Amino acid sequence: MQAVPHESKFLLVDDDERLRERTARALRDRGFEVVTADGPDEAMAALRQDPTHAVVDLRMPKGSGLPLVRDLIRRRPELRVVILTGYGSIATTVDAIRLGAVNYLTKPADADMILAAFARGDNVPLAEAPDYQAPSLARTEWEHINRVLDDCGGNISEASRRLGMHRRTLQRKLATFPPRR
Amino acid sequence: MQAVPHESKFLLVDDDERLRERTARALRDRGFEVVTADGPDEAMAALRQDPTHAVVDLRMPKGSGLPLVRDLIRRRPELRVVILTGYGSIATTVDAIRLGAVNYLTKPADADMILAAFARGDNVPLAEAPDYQAPSLARTEWEHINRVLDDCGGNISEASRRLGMHRRTLQRKLATFPPRR
DNA sequence: ACCCTCCTGCGGCAAGATGTCGCACCGCGA
DNA sequence: TCGCGGTGCGACATCTTGCCGCAGGAGGGT
């Protein structure tokens, strides 16, 4: 697995400005150039700055990011795209890969995860020994909670509603295992 | 989403004979031709019977099904392949899609799910409204349990160990929500 | 300022779920 | 036949959860 070339230029597409800028900064700190866009139109326009890699959030206010992925790749076939997907929504991930994305990322993704996704996306590891380890129930629960919580922008009440659990319970769970970040 | 043509011929690749034959029968009952294989070698050999669609289990005793997917598609580019993946192991699913598989299925998959996967795999639904519904915790827990349990061949003790929960607890959960099948 | 709504954190209690024993039984291979 | 591991189930202590309630804060509308 080779690393991402240092002269790469990233295009970040996400509607959440805070998250986007934070990630952008993290990538810049690592010496990469970064351009950002908060929606499909801006993203297409940003192609003029010739990014080499793109990170696209699949779930944006103005519809799915899927058409954007298609358009980006159509316009710039050499552009390497990874998608940011909310929950482990495999279905749309699969769609995105079919459209030419090289990899996917689940939502709370930091700069290192992004770089790893690109590095890994460039070559399909055929030899990979899938010594499938069944994740423990506690672990999947934990990840799902984190994902939904992140998806609700940290809103505990909202997250508890979506998760179908009592707010007090979520609070207690979060107190037990402190959420990352 | 168009249906799978009636003159399709399926190739089922799975090391579990019972499951394989059961699925084969289900597909034959729906009027399709079916050939089966219990491993990569048999699968490649079965290409001589000119299947149009293939279902490949990614997790087989002799290593990953990934190389097989690649070889199948390389030899028969027009062959439509969907993969059978254990848990929501997105990573290998993504690899398989990159290799040219048209869709994926999670493990306890019946004939109808297989047909649906093929039907859906033929066209990427760009318009799909991703009205992401966060699945409830209970639901994801339920699905994960089912997957692992299936993966352990129905062995409750083994599944409880992998899930990190007490056997008695798993028993009780299974008694409450009866597992499908 | 006022009201209203929503979110947050937390205490407490009853009800429910879980961990941990133990026991009887069964199938299988040495 | 023995040992091993799986299964189903009962009982009980203990942890977890649901469901109250309350106080405080942030934001919007009047």
Q: For residues B96 and B149, state if they share a domain.
A: no
Please give the interface size between A and B, counted as residue pairs whose CB atoms are below 8 Å apart. Answer: 120
| B165 CA, D1 C1': Å apart | 35
* In a domain? residue B2: no
Q: Which pTM was predicted?
A: 0.72
| Other C-beta atoms lying within 10 Å of the C-beta of residue A17 | 10
* In a domain? residue B106: yes
Q: For residues A90 and A148, state if they share a domain.
A: no
Q: For residues B151 and B65, state if they share a domain.
A: no
A138 vs B158: CA distance, rounded Å: 16
Q: For residues B91 and B38, state if they share a domain.
A: yes
What CATH number did the domain enclosing B101 receive?
A: 3.40.50.2300
Mean pLDDT (whole number) for A3-14: 81
Integer Rg of chain A from CA? 17
Q: Measure CB to CB from residue B163 to each of A137, A144, A164 and give the nearest one.
A: A137
| Tens-place pLDDT, residues B131-149 | 456 678 888 899 889 888 8
CB of A157 lies under 7 Å from some atom of strand D: no
A131 has pLDDT over 50: no
Distance from CA of B136 to the nearest CA of A (A): 4
Q: For residues A69 and A115, state if they share a domain.
A: yes
Q: For residues A149 and A170, state if they share a domain.
A: yes
Q: How many independent structural domains does chain A possess? A: 2
Torsion of CA A24, A27, A33, A36, to 10 degrees: -20
B163 has pLDDT over 80: yes
Q: For residues B29 and B115, state if they share a domain.
A: yes
Pairing of strands B80-85, B103-106: parallel
- Which range in A8-17, A109-118, B43-52 is most confidently predicted, on average pLDDT? B43-52
What CATH number did the domain enclosing B167 receive?
A: 1.10.10.60
Q: For residues A46 and A116, state if they share a domain.
A: yes
* In a domain? residue B4: no
Domain span at residue A147 reads 137-175
Q: For residues A118 and A149, state if they share a domain.
A: no
Nucleotides on chain C within 7 angstroms of protein Cβ: 6-12, 17-22
Last residue of a domain, one of A128, A147, A166: A128
B124: confidence class by pLDDT, cuts 50, 70, 90: low
